[in-house]
Amino acid sequence: MRIATFNTNSVRVRLPIVLEWIEKFNPDALCLQETKAQDKDFPIDAFEAAGYGCVFCGQKSYAGVAVISPKPVSDVTYGFEGKEGEEARLIACRIGSVDLVNTYVPQGRDPEAPQFKEKLAWLGRLRRYFESRFNPGSRVVWVGDFNVAPEAIDVYDPKRLLGHVGYHPEEHKALANVKEWGFEDVFRMHHPEGGLYTFWDYRARTALERNHGWRVDHIWATAPAAQKSTDSFIDRAPRLGERPSDHTFLVADFDL
DNA sequence: ATGGTCGGCAACCGA
């Protein structure tokens, strides 16, 4: 089973890239974040024509998550407690023997901003979400844009960046608390080396050429799923002459 | 390079 994740920064703009990518990589589940489309505007037809069904949870302009799959998808839930009154940042479903949770963790803006505390609180709520809905002894795969680089080897300049949003001790604590429920970092299992990134900030013009990257997109799994993982890799996607997202695709394969 | 580039959506906000 192949599970992948990609922050699209607009699923409609990135649609040609995503369609070409699923054709080449044949994921059993592709989790998207920052779809930036209301549910009525989600490009269902294009995915169905490619042989993929979609479940999604969107809102106007911002955020938005979706799962694209060629397989039967069941037990779809939206948000912590439903769509109403929540930003579109979480969608969960069951595919095969796996419970899949796709999140777009709040970015947090700046450690001094109120949004930063909201990010920490959101991660706290996510821990309780896993506690109440799932069992770490079953196969749970948590993927998405976590907006946190967990370790020094996950950012291009850890000394300078420590304390910045995305690489801050408070974020590390909040993320470790979710991990402690029962997750393993599947990409890290297969790549102990550092310097492998999934994000280069659009706003830093030279970020790509200087490789000023961050590993903020993740595929984590409970032990019963993680021990079945066979590979994990990053795929950058500037294809078809289209504009790439500032995130990459991230893939994990499981012998499931 | 404490700047900058995107996308949504129609002025700026968010990343």
CA to C1' distance (Å), from A61 to B10:
12
Q: How far is the CA of A220 from the C1' of B11 (A)?
A: 39
* CA distance linking residue A93 with residue A101, whole number of Å: 7
Between CA A201 and C1' B4 the distance (Å) reads 9
- Which nucleotide is closest, CA of A13 to its C1'? B7
Q: Please name the residue whose C-alpha is nearest to the C1' of nucleotide B4.
A: A203
Residue whose C-alpha is closest to residue A177's, from A120, A116, A231: A120
Query: Given this model, what pLDDT does residue A20 score?
Result: 94
* pLDDT for the residue numbered A242: 61
For chain A, 256 residues long, give each residue's pLDDT as a single digit of tens: 999 999 999 999 999 999 999 999 999 999 999 999 999 999 999 999 999 999 999 999 999 999 999 999 999 999 999 888 899 999 999 999 999 999 999 999 999 999 999 999 999 999 999 999 999 999 999 999 999 999 999 999 999 999 999 999 999 999 999 999 999 999 999 999 999 999 999 999 899 889 999 999 999 999 999 999 999 999 986 654 567 899 999 999 999 9
CA of A60 to C1' of B9 (A): 10
A207 closest-nt by C1' vs CA:
B4
Which residue reads 């579109």 in tokens?
Answer: A88
Question: Hey, where are the domains in chain A?
Answer: 2-254
Give distance CA A107 / C1' B13 (Å).
14
In Å, what is the separation between the CA of A15 and the C1' of B11? 27
CA of A164: nearest nucleotide by C1' is B2
Tell me the HSE value of A99 on the side-chain side, using a 13 A CA sphere: 14
Torsional class of A154: left (φ above 0), alpha (ψ -120 to 50), beta (otherwise): alpha
User: What does the pLDDT read at residue A84?
Assistant: 87
Work out if A247's Cβ lies within 7 angstroms of strand B: no
How many degrees, rounded to 5, is the angle at CA A174 between CA A168 and CA A176? 100
Quote the pLDDT of residue A239. 54
Q: Is the CB of A106 under 7 A from strand B?
A: yes
Lookup: nucleotide whose C1' is closest to A242 CA: B6
- In angstroms, the Cα distances linking A54 to A29, A69, A142, A204, A230 are 10, 6, 18, 33, 26
What is the per-residue pLDDT for A243?
72
Q: Is the CB of A233 under 7 A from strand B?
A: no
Provide the positions of strand B that have an atom within 7 A of a protein CB. 1, 3-9, 14-15
Instruction: Quote the DSSP letter at residue A88.
Output: S
Tell which CATH classification among 3.50.50.60, 2.60.40.2240, 3.40.50.720, 3.60.10.10 matches the domain A2-254. 3.60.10.10
Neighbours of A216 (CB within 10 A): 23
Residues 135-164 of A with CB under 7 A from strand B: 147
Residues 166-195 of A with CB under 7 A from strand B: none
pLDDT at A238: 61
